[in-house]
Structure 1
Amino acid sequence: MRDEQFDVPVTIESAPTGRPVSVTRTVQAATLLVDTWPDENRGPKYRAALKAMMDAMEQRRAVGSARRAFTAAAKEAHLFVREGRR
Protein backbone atom coordinates (compact mmCIF):
# COMPACT_ATOMS: atom_id res chain seq x y z
CA MET A 1 0.00 0.00 0.00
CA ARG A 2 1.16 3.49 -0.79
CA ASP A 3 0.74 6.61 1.28
CA GLU A 4 -0.38 9.23 -1.24
CA GLN A 5 -0.39 12.98 -0.62
CA PHE A 6 -3.59 15.00 -1.09
CA ASP A 7 -3.35 17.85 -3.58
CA VAL A 8 -5.43 20.01 -1.21
CA PRO A 9 -5.36 19.45 2.58
CA VAL A 10 -8.62 18.89 4.46
CA THR A 11 -8.93 20.35 7.95
CA ILE A 12 -11.30 18.59 10.31
CA GLU A 13 -12.16 18.96 13.96
CA SER A 14 -10.52 16.10 15.82
CA ALA A 15 -13.25 13.98 17.39
CA PRO A 16 -11.42 13.25 20.66
CA THR A 17 -10.03 16.74 21.30
CA GLY A 18 -12.12 19.13 19.22
CA ARG A 19 -8.93 20.72 17.86
CA PRO A 20 -8.33 21.26 14.13
CA VAL A 21 -6.26 18.63 12.33
CA SER A 22 -4.88 19.13 8.83
CA VAL A 23 -5.20 15.89 6.87
CA THR A 24 -2.71 15.70 4.02
CA ARG A 25 -2.18 12.00 3.24
CA THR A 26 -4.17 8.83 2.61
CA VAL A 27 -2.73 6.84 5.52
CA GLN A 28 -3.45 9.72 7.90
CA ALA A 29 -7.05 9.93 6.67
CA ALA A 30 -7.55 6.16 6.89
CA THR A 31 -6.12 6.11 10.43
CA LEU A 32 -8.49 8.87 11.52
CA LEU A 33 -11.45 7.05 9.96
CA VAL A 34 -10.60 3.75 11.67
CA ASP A 35 -9.22 4.88 15.03
CA THR A 36 -10.88 8.15 16.04
CA TRP A 37 -14.05 8.65 13.98
CA PRO A 38 -17.07 8.87 16.29
CA ASP A 39 -19.09 5.62 16.18
CA GLU A 40 -22.37 7.52 15.85
CA ASN A 41 -21.03 9.22 12.68
CA ARG A 42 -20.09 6.10 10.74
CA GLY A 43 -22.78 6.41 8.11
CA PRO A 44 -22.83 5.76 4.35
CA LYS A 45 -20.35 8.53 3.51
CA TYR A 46 -17.98 7.26 6.20
CA ARG A 47 -18.04 3.77 4.67
CA ALA A 48 -17.55 5.22 1.18
CA ALA A 49 -14.58 7.29 2.40
CA LEU A 50 -12.96 4.30 4.06
CA LYS A 51 -13.29 2.24 0.88
CA ALA A 52 -12.05 5.15 -1.24
CA MET A 53 -8.98 5.59 0.98
CA MET A 54 -8.12 1.88 0.77
CA ASP A 55 -8.62 1.95 -3.01
CA ALA A 56 -6.35 5.01 -3.35
CA MET A 57 -3.62 3.38 -1.25
CA GLU A 58 -3.84 0.30 -3.49
CA GLN A 59 -3.76 2.56 -6.59
CA ARG A 60 -7.22 1.52 -7.74
CA ARG A 61 -8.65 5.02 -7.34
CA ALA A 62 -7.40 8.57 -7.81
CA VAL A 63 -6.20 10.30 -4.65
CA GLY A 64 -8.38 13.36 -5.41
CA SER A 65 -11.47 11.18 -5.49
CA ALA A 66 -10.55 9.66 -2.11
CA ARG A 67 -9.96 13.14 -0.66
CA ARG A 68 -13.41 14.24 -1.84
CA ALA A 69 -14.97 11.14 -0.23
CA PHE A 70 -13.14 11.94 3.03
CA THR A 71 -14.41 15.54 2.88
CA ALA A 72 -17.97 14.30 2.35
CA ALA A 73 -17.68 11.98 5.36
CA ALA A 74 -16.34 14.83 7.50
CA LYS A 75 -19.26 17.04 6.46
CA GLU A 76 -21.73 14.23 7.19
CA ALA A 77 -20.17 13.84 10.67
CA HIS A 78 -20.12 17.63 11.27
CA LEU A 79 -16.32 17.49 11.65
CA PHE A 80 -15.42 19.41 8.48
CA VAL A 81 -13.65 22.75 8.96
CA ARG A 82 -12.18 23.72 5.56
CA GLU A 83 -10.23 22.65 2.50
CA GLY A 84 -6.89 24.18 1.58
CA ARG A 85 -4.19 25.87 3.59
CA ARG A 86 -4.67 28.83 5.93
Structure 2
Amino acid sequence: MEDEPFDLPVFVQLGAINEIRSVSSTQEAAECLLFRWPRGTGPKFATAIEACLAVLRGAEETFHARSAFEEAAKEVGILVVTKR
Protein backbone atom coordinates (compact mmCIF):
# COMPACT_ATOMS: atom_id res chain seq x y z
CA MET A 1 0.00 0.00 0.00
CA GLU A 2 1.31 3.42 -0.97
CA ASP A 3 0.27 6.29 1.25
CA GLU A 4 2.98 8.86 0.77
CA PRO A 5 2.13 12.45 1.69
CA PHE A 6 0.78 14.76 -1.01
CA ASP A 7 3.26 17.33 -2.31
CA LEU A 8 0.83 20.00 -1.06
CA PRO A 9 -2.26 19.43 1.08
CA VAL A 10 -5.75 19.97 -0.33
CA PHE A 11 -8.00 22.12 1.85
CA VAL A 12 -11.71 21.36 1.85
CA GLN A 13 -14.65 22.85 3.72
CA LEU A 14 -16.73 20.17 5.41
CA GLY A 15 -19.53 19.88 7.93
CA ALA A 16 -22.31 22.05 9.19
CA ILE A 17 -19.91 24.37 11.00
CA ASN A 18 -17.79 24.88 7.88
CA GLU A 19 -14.80 23.00 9.22
CA ILE A 20 -11.74 23.46 7.01
CA ARG A 21 -9.79 20.26 6.75
CA SER A 22 -6.28 19.81 5.42
CA VAL A 23 -6.05 16.55 3.48
CA SER A 24 -2.42 15.49 3.16
CA SER A 25 -2.40 11.89 1.92
CA THR A 26 -4.28 9.34 -0.16
CA GLN A 27 -5.53 7.58 2.97
CA GLU A 28 -6.95 10.85 4.33
CA ALA A 29 -8.53 11.64 0.96
CA ALA A 30 -10.18 8.21 0.79
CA GLU A 31 -11.55 8.55 4.34
CA CYS A 32 -12.88 12.01 3.56
CA LEU A 33 -14.56 10.80 0.35
CA LEU A 34 -16.12 7.77 2.02
CA PHE A 35 -17.18 9.22 5.37
CA ARG A 36 -17.34 13.03 5.22
CA TRP A 37 -18.28 13.93 1.65
CA PRO A 38 -21.38 16.07 1.04
CA ARG A 39 -24.39 14.70 -0.77
CA GLY A 40 -24.95 15.49 -4.41
CA THR A 41 -21.75 13.98 -5.67
CA GLY A 42 -20.95 13.78 -9.35
CA PRO A 43 -18.74 11.79 -11.69
CA LYS A 44 -15.52 13.27 -10.31
CA PHE A 45 -16.39 11.80 -6.90
CA ALA A 46 -16.35 8.29 -8.38
CA THR A 47 -13.13 9.05 -10.24
CA ALA A 48 -11.51 10.26 -7.00
CA ILE A 49 -12.46 7.10 -5.13
CA GLU A 50 -11.09 4.95 -7.96
CA ALA A 51 -7.86 6.98 -8.01
CA CYS A 52 -7.38 6.67 -4.24
CA LEU A 53 -7.94 2.92 -4.36
CA ALA A 54 -5.49 2.55 -7.26
CA VAL A 55 -2.82 4.47 -5.35
CA LEU A 56 -3.41 2.48 -2.17
CA ARG A 57 -3.06 -0.75 -4.19
CA GLY A 58 0.23 0.56 -5.57
CA ALA A 59 -1.07 0.74 -9.15
CA GLU A 60 -0.80 4.55 -9.48
CA GLU A 61 1.34 7.38 -8.16
CA THR A 62 0.19 9.57 -5.26
CA PHE A 63 -0.30 12.65 -7.43
CA HIS A 64 -3.18 10.89 -9.25
CA ALA A 65 -5.16 10.64 -6.01
CA ARG A 66 -4.42 14.24 -5.06
CA SER A 67 -5.45 15.58 -8.45
CA ALA A 68 -8.67 13.53 -8.56
CA PHE A 69 -9.55 14.51 -4.98
CA GLU A 70 -9.04 18.20 -5.76
CA GLU A 71 -11.26 17.93 -8.86
CA ALA A 72 -13.99 16.19 -6.86
CA ALA A 73 -13.85 18.96 -4.25
CA LYS A 74 -14.18 21.60 -6.99
CA GLU A 75 -17.14 19.71 -8.43
CA VAL A 76 -19.17 20.04 -5.20
CA GLY A 77 -17.87 23.51 -4.28
CA ILE A 78 -15.92 22.60 -1.14
CA LEU A 79 -12.37 23.27 -2.34
CA VAL A 80 -10.69 26.03 -0.36
CA VAL A 81 -8.23 27.81 -2.62
CA THR A 82 -5.00 28.82 -0.95
CA LYS A 83 -2.13 30.87 -2.32
CA ARG A 84 1.01 28.89 -3.00
TM-score (norm 1): 0.87
Post-superposition offset of 1:15: 3.3
Structure 2 partner of 1:10: 10
SS in 1 for 2:58: coil
Structure 1 partner of 2:72: 73
- Once residues 83 and 50 of structure 2 are traced to their aligned partners in structure 1, the CA distance between those partners, rounded to angstroms, is 23
- Once residues 19 and 33 of structure 1 are traced to their aligned partners in structure 2, the CA distance between those partners, rounded to angstroms, is 15
Specify every segment of 5 or more residues in structure 2 that has no aligned partner in the other structure, as ranges: none
- Once residues 22 and 50 of structure 1 are traced to their aligned partners in structure 2, the CA distance between those partners, rounded to angstroms, is 18
- Once residues 82 and 53 of structure 2 are traced to their aligned partners in structure 1, the CA distance between those partners, rounded to angstroms, is 21
- Once residues 39 and 29 of structure 1 are traced to their aligned partners in structure 2, the CA distance between those partners, rounded to angstroms, is 16
Structure 2 partner of 1:49: 48
Stretch of structure 1 that moved more, 4-13 or 14-23: 14-23
Change (3 A) 1:16 1:27: farther
Q: What is the count of residue pairs matched by the alignment?
A: 84
Listed one character per residue, the Cα deviations across residues 34-64 of structure 1 (whole Å, up to 9, x for unaligned) are 0011121x21000000000010111111111
Q: Which runs of 4+ in 1 moved over 4 A?
A: none
TM-score (norm 2): 0.89
Structure 2 partner of 1:19: 19
Identity, in percent, stands at 36
Contact 2:3–2:62 (CA<8 Å) still a contact in 1?
no
Structure 2 partner of 1:28: 28
Structure 2 partner of 1:82: 81
